[in-house]
Amino acid sequence: MLPDSVVLREVGPRDGLQVEPPLPPEDRARLVDALLRAGVRVIEVAAFVSPKAVPAMADAEAVVAALGDRPGVVRTALVANVRGAERALAAGIDALTVTIAASPAYNQRNVRMTIEESRREIAAIAALAAQGGVPVDAVISCAFGSPYEGDVPPAEVAALAAAVVEDGATSVTLADTTGMATPRRVDELLAHTGPQVGLHLHETRGTGLVNLYAGLQAGVRRYDCSVGGLGGSPFAHGAAGNVATEGVVALLDDLGVHTGIDLDLLLEAAALAKELVGHPLPSPVAAAGPRTRLSPPGG
């Protein structure tokens, strides 16, 4: 029995665009706007991080300002430290995302901190966010394996998930940063954490949708996805993009799992994303169209 409905958190404008050449804030806001028109209701719109470290995420405040208030929409932003959280909260963001890796080597490479240092930073960010009633989702990178250490025992990942909630995170998302998850690994880790987590899946080895399906069967109701399949990790060799929002919505539509997102309008947003980044996107559904789109007679 699959869930009746799930919440898709769109991460294309942040996780997707951060590995692309920088786009002006107005274009990033345009992409967010197109996604909201399609029915997206939770969306990562920016990262409040150093523009030197991530040039494509510069001017986060301008993106948020260009969007304005959006009733009924959760505009979330990635922050890496208290300074970033202060900026995000001052800009009026609705929710924060923080990351910590289940792999010490990946954490060091990604944010130049030990796991303990990352936990202390998350605790400080969460304390600040709590003052304004702003939720903080902790994304655990390499939750299904690390490109440096290999498999990470599910009990260790689950312990880290519990620890960051103790540190003040209001929710946890398990990320398959380098595409090492399989349905078996999803089942095993969810048996330790329970289904009250989000899943952030990658297509590095073409297993994004099969892992999402395993998550659905286990009762998980929150998934990250990225328009056009934009994204990937600049710190992991061969890391391909996030699971594509169009592919997820097309699949869930046919499975009868409600997302609130209109596939045709979503494909328009994907076309805009492609135009903005100036290269083809990896999403198969963006290329082939929905399964309900038939060939013209004689075509």
Among 220, 250, 272, 281, binds its own copies (CB under 8 A): 250
| Residue placing its CB nearer to its own copies in the complex, 16 or 247 | 247
Pick the piece of the chain touching its own copies (CB under 8 A) from 18-26, 49-57, 165-173, 197-205: 197-205
**How is residue 8 written in tokens?**
């898709």
Among 81, 173, 193, 204, binds its own copies (CB under 8 A): 204
Contact 268, 34 (CB under 8 A): yes
Q: Is 9 helix (H, G, I), strand (E, B) or coil?
A: strand
User: Shortest gap between Cβ of 113 and its own copies (angstroms)?
Assistant: 18
Binding mask 65-104 for its own copies (x = CB under 8 A): ----------------------------------------
- Separation between Cα atoms, residue 162 and residue 179, nearest integer Å: 23
By CB under 8 A, is residue 244 in contact with its own copies? yes
Residues 181-200 as b/e (b if ≥16 CB within 10 A, e otherwise) read bbbebbebbbeebebebbbb
Q: How far is CA 46 from CA 11, 96, 111, 176, 283, in A?
A: 9, 10, 17, 21, 22
* Residues 253-292 close enough to bind its own copies by CB under 8 A: 254-256, 283-285, 287-289, 291-292
Q: Which residues does 271 contact at the CB level (< 8 Å), separation at least 6?
A: 286
| Residue placing its CB nearer to its own copies in the complex, 193 or 283 | 283
Pick the piece of the chain touching its own copies (CB under 8 A) from 27-35, 121-129, 243-251, 258-266: 243-251
Q: Which residues does 273 contact at the CB level (< 8 Å), separation at least 6?
A: 12, 16, 31, 227, 228, 230, 281
- Separation between Cα atoms, residue 291 and residue 125, nearest integer Å: 44
- What single letter denotes the amino acid at residue 38? A
| Residue placing its CB nearer to its own copies in the complex, 121 or 224 | 224
User: Shortest gap between Cβ of 47 and its own copies (angstroms)?
Assistant: 24
- Separation between Cα atoms, residue 272 and residue 38, nearest integer Å: 12
| Residue placing its CB nearer to its own copies in the complex, 92 or 289 | 289
User: Shortest gap between Cβ of 237 and its own copies (angstroms)?
Assistant: 5
Among 10, 167, 203, 224, binds its own copies (CB under 8 A): 203
Among 22, 92, 135, 183, binds its own copies (CB under 8 A): 183
User: Which candidate, 103, 180, 167, places its Cα nearest to that of 138?
Assistant: 167
- Interface residues with its own copies (CB under 8 A)? 145, 147-150, 179-180, 182-185, 203-210, 212-214, 236-240, 244, 247, 250-251, 254-256, 283-285, 287-289, 291-292, 294-295, 297, 299
